[in-house]
Amino acid sequence: MTGGTNGIGRIAAASLAALGYRLVLIARSEIKAEATRREILQVVADAPIDFFYTDFTRLATVAEAASAIAEKYERIDVLINNAGIHAFEQRVTADGFSEMVSVNYLAPWLLTALLSQRLVASVPSRIVTVASEASRRSRGLNPDIDLYDTSPFTRLGSSVIYGRTKLMDIMFSIELSRRLASSGVTANCLDPGFNVTGLGRELSFAAPLERLLNFLRIGDPNRGAGIIVALATQPRFASVSGGYFSVKDAAPLVPAASGGDVGAQRRLWNATASAVEAFK
């Protein structure tokens, strides 16, 4: 699981530990990882938890982690792509990609591709990707341009870029489900809804706003974590693949117009494969 040391991912990780799963968490910060370990062990004293460290802005480290995970574990029951960031200014990674595109889309795409063989060998297995209804603010998608776009943007304009990365996640998940059809591996994605935890980490007023929203009981992160755990574990989703589900009772969602186009999904897949080829 990626993003298991922050926000809804941290809550989901604790829930999975309570269900008896061995946790393999991919993290960037060793400090946050150890804090997460201590928190989970307070609830599940004997929970097995392993960490692998990567930087999703450096795709070579993603490939290294995937290789180490595939070598260490004979099976992977569930891969959860949860890590994400909403940046309010453009930052370009060492690999030459927009930070949000790298962290929210390219890194999970690469991780999934490199672990797919182990997932197929572990069937029945599942892939769960955290997308968002923010995808409806994407204003469409041109893979040949948008995967490589590093143009500056404002805080207001950041919503379009964030939404575009989440649209990519939806399209990737649906196309992946077709490519894994009949393999025994399912692939689904979800909208976790509005969650207060980790809200706008780059905003100066994020902390007091989070306290206010918690006081008003708005944006309960347990709901977002709950839909992740449901798709990862519940028997009713065991044979479901290619779905996009709402945080509200796991109701099926229809992707934004361009996101549901089969041809567009295939074009995005092929363009992404080319973009990350050097890191495979």
Nearest-CA neighbor of 186 among 231, 228, 227?
Answer: 231
Q: Helix 7-18 vs helix 221-233: angle between axes, to the nearest 10 degrees?
A: 50
Q: Among 21, 73, 105, 162, which one carries the catalytic annotation?
A: 162
Find, among 11, 54, 1, the residue nearest to 198 by Cα.
11
Radius of gyration of the chain (CA): 18
Rounded CA-CA distance 245/71 in Å is 32
Helix (H) / strand (E) element for 267: namely helix 262-275
d(CA 44, CA 55): 28
Assess whether 162 carries a catalytic annotation. Answer: yes
Question: Nearest-CA neighbor of 222 among 1, 9, 4?
Answer: 9
Q: What is the DSSP letter of 125?
A: E
Task: Phi first, then psi: give them for residue 133, nearest 5 degrees.
Answer: -70, -10
Phi/psi at 142 (5° precision): -125, 100
Write the CA distances from 33 to 59, 76, 260, integer angstroms. Answer: 20, 20, 36
The residues assigned a catalytic role are 162
